[in-house]
Amino acid sequence: MSGLCNAILNLAAAFVLFHGRGRVPATGSGSLLMDSIGETFLVTGLSVLVPSLIARHRRRAGILPTYVGRQTTATGNPYVRAIVMGLLFTCLLVPCNAFIFPRIFPDGVSLSNVLLFKTVYGAVIGSIATLLALYRALG
């Protein structure tokens, strides 16, 4: 469900940001690379935060089991966890994008490819981040 939501939101965001352009530069100002910085951080952060808050709410409501002796640390805070995971994913994936984009799209990216890339990228990143968040929240 997280992947689907992220795919739809990223498709809409890509259309709003890049519609009307014939080609979008792969790197530089106003490029797909610059957009991927914010997208990676936001998708990851929200994909960690929302499931963590839902799990916390359900645990308090008695729907999910609580664990005795569970430590309360900074990593137990869903907001801190979302920010840290967002930064980690961004620091890992944006350099990969910076290496790959100019090689795949030397002459820029067509709008249809931007829409496709952002939809798939958001779905994959959101799914992975949600899986990690649920593993941590339920573990």
The residue with tokens 């980690």 is 88
Residue ranges per domain, the chain? 2-138
The rounded distance, in Å, linking the Cα atoms of 49 and 127 is 13
How confident is the model at residue 74, as a pLDDT? 46
pTM of the predicted structure, to 2 decimals: 0.84
Kindly tell me the burial class for residue 105, based on how many C-beta atoms sit within 10 Å of its own C-beta (0-12, 13-18, 19 or more).
Answer: buried
The rounded distance, in Å, linking the Cα atoms of 29 and 26 is 9
Q: What is the CA radius of gyration of the chain?
A: 17
pLDDT per position in the chain (139 positions), as tens? 888 888 898 889 888 888 878 889 999 888 899 999 999 999 999 999 998 898 888 877 777 666 655 555 545 788 999 999 999 999 999 999 999 999 999 999 998 889 999 999 999 999 999 999 888 877 6
